[in-house]
Chain A
Amino acid sequence: MSKRIKLQVARYRPEQESESVFEEYEVPCPSDWVVLDGLNHVKDQLDGTLSYRWSCRMGICGSCGMTVNGEPKLTCATFLDDYAPGPVRVEPLRNFPVIRDLVVDLGDFMQKLVRVKPWIVRSVEKPLAAGEYLQTPEEMDEYKQFSMCINCMLCYAACPIYGLDPKFIGPAAIALAQRYNLDSRDEGAAERLEILSEHEGIWGCTFVGECTKVCPKNVNPAGAIQRYKLNAALESVKSFFLPRGA
């Protein structure tokens, strides 16, 4: 008699209902199954109508973020056994519009990402023939952590500010802006500052700190934002006393 566990899964079928409803499924619970394995079992064997996103199943593509027992998690990296005897409540990521079942819309983040200019900005590009931009391992350490973001959106789901005010640019976008600001090859910090020091930019953040807590890749977006605030504040002070920009 192998172990089993109940999944309470939020369903939303816009053609049928106007609110989400919960449906319950019982799935096997071997010790090495993750929540995603449970969902796949439901879809393959019990109810083919369940919709959700997944791809790599190794915590690097960022597709499978969902709310598990109230917390934003990557379902491919969350073991069912940890919730035994269950039941396990699986819902879509919070703070995003729900398209269907466990699938949310990411369009908002995608347009915010473009706004922070997440690319190397340089006034003069080095020609290829001149070789690589030299960058020591210490210089890389400055931004390395922020480059680990897999865009899984767990941080947006955890951030109460984003939930209350969807115009807030959000943790991952700011962390990615910082990734480029701190990259020794980049010269775009001033351009990004203009966008990020808007009201819904970094100043929307009140340092709740939940984003860093839920990040599966230890990006520490909260840290990125607070450091950036310090930078931005110093820049304002500098430009106040030295308006021509020293």
Chain B
Amino acid sequence: MTPSHDVVLVGGGGAGLRAAIAIAETNPRLNVAVVSKVYPMRSHTVSAEGGAAGAIAADDSLDEHAYDTISGGDWLCDQDAVEAFVKEAPQELLRLEHWGCPWSRQPDGHIAVRPFGGMKKMRTWFAADKTGFHMLHTLFQTSLKYTSVVRYDEWFVTRLLVDDGRVQGVVALELMSGRIEAITARAVILCTGGCGRVFPFTTNASIKTGDGMALAYRAGAPLKDMEFVQYHPTGLPFTGILITEAARAEGGYLLNKDGYRYLQDYQLGTPQPKPVLRSMELGPRDRLSQAFMKELEKGRTIETPYGPVVNLDLRHLGHKVIDAKIPFVRELCQKYQNLDPVKDLIPVRPVVHYMMGGVHTDINGATPLAGLYAAGEVACVSINGANRLGSNSLPELLVFGARAGQAAAEHASHEAPISAHVSAQVQDERQRLERDVLGKTGGRERLADIRDQMQKALEESAGIYRDGAKLSWAVERLRELQERVTDVSIEDHSRTFNTERVAAIELACMLDVAEAIVQSALRREESRGAHQRTDFPARDDRRFLAHSLISRTSDQSVHVEYLPVRITRWPPGERVYGEVVPHVETDKAAGRQIPTGARV
């Protein structure tokens, strides 16, 4: 009695739910399963705050949104994907409005947009400062309409079933009872989000452990651009809780210990009283985080018991604006820092926030492994390149969730039935989870210790600034931790809601993902976007205008190759921020050669 569906979605966040709805609407005869390790409304989409970009203003254009995204990504974005993305984003956001999403409005009832980092025009739709929350709840509640969508709430997918060169379903553990079942399907879409918990200090929830990335990696699907980890410039010092970019979009300043708006020293423009798009505090996230590190080096940050911080100044906005536009920010500061942004400075520092890299997919969410698709933060299409602009990831969930859903549905309708051999794999997995994890006795390592040490290794080697020596050290360190984790002690031998077993499985996923991050970072010998090498400080388009693709080889080591970036209309140029207006013309080559397929 193996449960079987046409399409299985792993993960029930924004991308997963959008994909489920897409399949239910376009192919209602197909049977869709959403398998999520948490109830869908707990998915991390819920904590996104700032907004979702879609070019709708009269003075805006798709080309400008595309240019901002591509230059923001330091030209590592696949431009055909970006063009499709910017075109479909406004439609998806509008569709969500029709489904009830409470987008903030102008007084006349039309959708309002606000400025956001790295964008030259105002195009970020928002629902106060709880955009992700409203989007997720709208998607979840709308998905309840469709009877063809079956949910497996609190089932943890531990393995992909692969046979005959194609994915044929998953093996999942029901948290409540501990039983392990195969859920077969003719297509599987990974929508499991990113892996911020691989680092010690992150905006991400505890559930962001890179499960889907590890599943794909182990099944033979390559991971792309894993070295690009985004640090959000403004997180609270102890908890890492996100203070949305919208606070800066509404006019917040970043001040060092002398009360100086230090971003002006880093080619991000000159300070103006009101926010200027693509300038100063509205620059791209990688540049702002890097500026913080430079200020730290110069000794101009403020020391706190939780490390160095700078101050976010919102006092000049006044309580009316704060309560209307960023009320959640006020709530969070009061609750977790005991400070009121209306009258106090808020201490902030860069925190790991988003993973530009992920499972390699094409423009329709298909991975090279037949039957396997991915969408959302877990995937890398790539539209974000080397650095993601704020408010691009929420529409990414919708655009690529829908695309992957439709592509997977198409595939499933024509695919052959499940082969009988997969049942042997299920037995294997059952044994592994029962014997090697649940039944494990006598281990000497504490799970939390290994996790802490992995996180420290990543922070030291794969932080905002990296170098070859540290990265090589990290490779060894992770190898050591991979060995030590086999000796981890499991105290909880119950089958009923065993969260220690889950933590062990998640730690194994994180170690795999961590390996991919540091190995990819070690091999990219240039600085681009969020990947900054002190030993290779310049951007190198000749060798590295390409995506890194990392796969695991059969002898447990890695293989890295490079896939050229797809350039359509915007040849690589300089990233320019501040008051200087970059040209959007497509024939401006800025003195650089257009690379024709760099292979290393």
Contacts and interface: CB of A to CB of B under 8 A. Distances in A.
B14 to A, nearest CB: 13
Nearest to A143: B102
A106 interface: yes
A132 to B, nearest CB: 5
A75 B395 CA distance: 31
A47 B492 CA distance: 9
A83 interface: no
A4 interface: no
A29 B317 CA distance: 35
Contacts of B137: 147
A44 interface: yes
Nearest to A59: B335
Q: Chain B's interface: helix, strand, loop or mixed, by majority?
A: loop
A208 to B, nearest CB: 26
A128 B39 contact: no
A180 B100 contact: yes
A55 B206 contact: yes
B175 to A, nearest CB: 9
Which one of A45, A60, A125 has the highest number of Cβ atoms from chain B below 10 Å of its Cβ?
A60
Interface stretch (A113-121, A160-168, A238-246): A113-121
Interface stretch (A95-103, A189-197, A198-206, A229-237): A95-103
A58 B332 contact: yes
Interface in A166-187: 176, 180, 183, 185-186
Interface stretch (B90-98, B275-283, B375-383, B401-409): B90-98
Nearest to B490: A48
B176 A99 contact: yes
Interface stretch (B60-68, B266-274, B461-469, B496-504): B496-504
Interface in A42-89: 43-45, 47-63, 77
B497 A103 contact: yes
B42 A63 contact: yes
Interface stretch (A18-26, A133-141, A220-228): A133-141
Nearest to B452: A44
B102 A119 contact: no
B491 A56 contact: no
B44 interface: yes
Nearest to B239: A57
Given A60-B133, A132-B94, A151-B41, A54 B206 contact: yes
B496 A14 contact: yes
Given A60-B46, A114-B144, A128-B91, A49 B494 contact: yes
B142 A55 contact: no
A57 B130 CA distance: 15
Contacts of A60: 46-47, 130, 133
A213 interface: no
A6 interface: no
Which one of A100, A133, A134 has the highest number of Cβ atoms from chain B below 10 Å of its Cβ?
A100
A120 B100 contact: yes
Interface size class of A (residues with CB under 8 A): 35 or more
B179 to A, nearest CB: 14
Interface in B113-150: 130, 133-134, 137, 141-142, 144-145
A52 B498 CA distance: 9
B491 A49 contact: yes
A53 B175 CA distance: 11
B205 interface: yes
B563 interface: no
A136 B496 contact: no
A32 B207 contact: no
B473 interface: no
A55 B239 contact: no
B260 interface: no
Interface of A: 13-16, 32, 43-45, 47-63, 77, 99-101, 103, 105-106, 110, 113-114, 118-120, 125-126, 128, 131-137, 139-140, 143-144, 147-148, 150-151, 176, 180, 183, 185-186
Interface of B: 38-39, 41-44, 46-47, 91, 94-95, 97-100, 102-105, 107-111, 130, 133-134, 137, 141-142, 144-145, 153, 176, 205-207, 238-239, 241-242, 332, 335-336, 446-448, 489-492, 494-500
Given A56-B46, A136-B107, 9 more contacts: A14-B494, A61-B41, A63-B42, A103-B497, A120-B142, A128-B98, A137-B104, A183-B102, A185-B100
Please name the 8 residue pairs, one residue from A and one from B, whose CB atoms are nearest each other, closest first: A134-B109, A44-B448, A49-B492, A48-B491, A100-B497, A118-B141, A55-B205, A120-B100
